[in-house]
């Protein structure tokens, strides 16, 4: 039996900050993950709650931090997204994934789907 995620959603993405893990779920079943993540550092914390996928940009560039953000899947109006990034250094609020997971999230999460962030 697969251990369920700590989230209450049955479709979308689940993020657990305390364990640095994320999953994609469909019909209450885990279809991807757990994926290792990093999240927001002190002063740039990733917010908790439920958010809709807002937009996706394959080859994004962060102007504020002058850095690439491949496979960006945005889920907050303030610019927080899943994207390929360091799995050792905390982010400025985004959820960093390895290259394969970032692409999977980009290709498999639809606009409007829920991203749930729990502690």
Query: Is 14 known to be catalytic?
Result: no
Task: Say which of 7, 14, 39, 83 is annotated catalytic.
Answer: 83
Question: What values do phi and psi take at 62, rounded to 5?
Answer: -80, 115
Query: Is 83 known to be catalytic?
Result: yes
For residues 84 and 77, give the distance between their C-alpha atoms in angstroms, rounded to a whole number.
Answer: 19
Is 101 buried (19+), middle (13-18) or exposed (0-12) by CB count in 10 A?
buried
Contact 74, 81 (CB under 8 A): yes
Task: Say which of 7, 14, 39, 94 is annotated catalytic.
Answer: 94
Instruction: Report the catalytic residues.
Output: 83, 94
């Amino acid at each position: 039996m697969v251990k369920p995620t700590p989230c209450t959603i049955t479709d979308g993405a689940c993020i657990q900050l305390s364990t640095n893990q994320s999953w994609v779920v469909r019909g209450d079943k885990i279809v991807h993950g757990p994926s290792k993540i990093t999240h927001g550092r002190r002063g740039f914390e990733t917010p908790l709650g439920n958010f809709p996928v807002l937009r996706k940009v394959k080859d994004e560039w962060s102007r504020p931090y002058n850095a690439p953000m491949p496979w960006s899947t945005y889920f907050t109006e303030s610019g927080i997204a899943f994207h390929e990034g360091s799995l050792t250094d905390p982010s400025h609020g985004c959820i960093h994934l390895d290259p394969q997971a970032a692409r999977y999230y980009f290709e498999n999460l639809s606009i409007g789907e829920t991203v749930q962030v729990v502690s």
